[in-house]
């Protein structure tokens, strides 16, 4: 079986490695172009690009596969894909739109009810969380379960018939980074499990349910500003959902601080988002319900407690701009937080005021 692979991040590279290790022929790999990254904004190759080069695989990185608007690079990539005469196109977190003309190029593998030409390894249990950020949106929403769905690709966004799926739990400690890694391992296992069945025609596609559809839109950096008027339970999930990118953020005084680890604590009373209250005063303040969301209720070595719209967010790990991730004890040693300090509340456009 000849398989052309299209993918970009580590999630995809894990699947490509599994396909290669299973002995399948991969005559061409497609990935996104190198992107500026790091403080120096130097071009950085994708994880799939690095793997393909290490394994000596033919590699193309067109900025688009639309022949009408993608220029010479798009035409070259589509021609190369066609000339390899693949049986199947396997896609995982590629990040580029695949026109129907591209999806129709592979010769296809016949099953019991249809022919599969292009297969996507998607990191959710479809139809929940169609789109670019399924793991992050699942954590943010408080889902307890997610998984991998292998689906036939079509022109719609993650709307194609399902071929195979398996669920895994979302742990209370999961960040998008840790959950994506577990999903990557699951996706790799499922694709190499399904491919032998596909070769024998022992598969059948199932249409996605019409109910339960949700959109996993890409995380916008403006979303990273925590809104302290929201419930602490939501903010704690957002901290995990935005890790490792873009990182949950807040403005304390004149400084921007990233928040990497936090948990919700049930809270009595109400405090305004962002105010820091002294350790002696926090209990009475909470009991009287006078603190506004965003108020720091206490800043101790075991955590910085901040009043939210509902409950209290206890922050355990923070990072100053240009600094390192620090536990609360280390952070407070270098950046003391005075009683009554306030985290700024984002405006409607998600910028802190």
Same domain for 89 and 173: yes
Same domain for 192 and 96: yes
Please give the pLDDT value at position 287. 36
Distance between CA 250 and CA 226 in Å, rounded?
6
Same domain for 183 and 57: yes
The last residue of one of the domains, among 199, 233, 248, is 199
Tens of pLDDT, residue by residue over 145-162, are 999 999 999 988 999 999
Please give the pLDDT value at position 37. 75
What is the full DSSP assignment across 208-248? PPSSS--B-PPPPGGGGB--TTSBHHHHHHHHHHTTTTT-E
Q: What is the mean pLDDT of the chain?
A: 91
Domain-embedded: residue 350: no
Domain with residue 324: its CATH number is 3.10.25.10
Q: Residue 125 — φ and ψ, nearest 5°? A: -95, 90
Inter-residue contact 118 to 106 (CB < 8 Å): yes
Q: How many domains does the chain have?
A: 2
Answering whether pTM is above 0.85, one says yes
Look up the domain containing 257 and give its range.
222-334
Inter-residue contact 187 to 148 (CB < 8 Å): yes
Please give the pLDDT value at position 167. 98
Distance between CA 311 and CA 306 in Å, rounded?
9
Comparing 345 with 273, which gets the higher pLDDT? 345
Domain with residue 35: its CATH number is 3.40.50.170
Please give the pLDDT value at position 284. 37
197: preceding bond cis by omega (within 30 degrees)? no
């Amino acid at each position: 079986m000849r398989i052309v692979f299209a993918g970009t991040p580590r999630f995809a590279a894990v699947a490509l490695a599994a396909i290669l290790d299973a002995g399948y022929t991969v005559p061409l790999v497609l990935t996104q172009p190198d992107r500026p990254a790091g403080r120096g904004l130097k071009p950085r190759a994708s994880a799939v690009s690095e793997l393909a080069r290490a394994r000596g695989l033919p590699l193309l990185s067109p900025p688009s596969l639309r022949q009408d608007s993608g220029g010479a690079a798009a035409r070259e990539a589509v021609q190369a894909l066609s000339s390899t005469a693949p049986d199947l196109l396997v896609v995982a977190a590629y990040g580029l739109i695949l026109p129907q003309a591209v999806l129709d190029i592979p010769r296809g593998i016949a099953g019991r009810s249809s022919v599969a030409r292009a297969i996507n390894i998607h990191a959710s249990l479809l139809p929940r969380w169609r789109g670019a950020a399924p793991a992050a949106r699942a954590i943010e929403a408080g889902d307890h379960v997610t998984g991998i769905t292998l689906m036939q690709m079509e022109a719609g966004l993650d709307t194609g018939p399902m071929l195979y799926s398996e669920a895994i739990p979302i742990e209370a400690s999961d960040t998008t980074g840790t959950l994506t890694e577990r999903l990557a391992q699951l996706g790799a296992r499922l694709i190499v499990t399904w491919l032998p069945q596909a070769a024998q025609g022992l598969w059948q596609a199932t249409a996605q349910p019409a109910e339960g559809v949700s959109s996993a839109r890409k995380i916008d950096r403006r979303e990273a500003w925590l809104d302290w008027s929201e419930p602490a339970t939501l903010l704690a999930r957002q901290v995990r959902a935005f890790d490792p990118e873009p990182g949950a953020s807040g403005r304390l005084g004149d400084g921007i601080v990233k928040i990497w680890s936090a948990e919700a604590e049930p809270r009595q009373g109400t405090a305004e988002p962002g105010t820091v209250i002294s350790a002696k005063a926090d209990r009475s303040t909470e009991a009287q319900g006078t603190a506004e969301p965003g108020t720091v209720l206490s800043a101790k070595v075991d955590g910085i407690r901040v009043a939210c719209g509902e409950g209290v967010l206890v922050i355990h790990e923070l990072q100053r701009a240009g600094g390192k991730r620090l536990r609360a004890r280390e952070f407070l040693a270098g950046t003391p937080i005075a009683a009554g300090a306030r985290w700024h509340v984002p405006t409607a456009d998600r910028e802190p005021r």
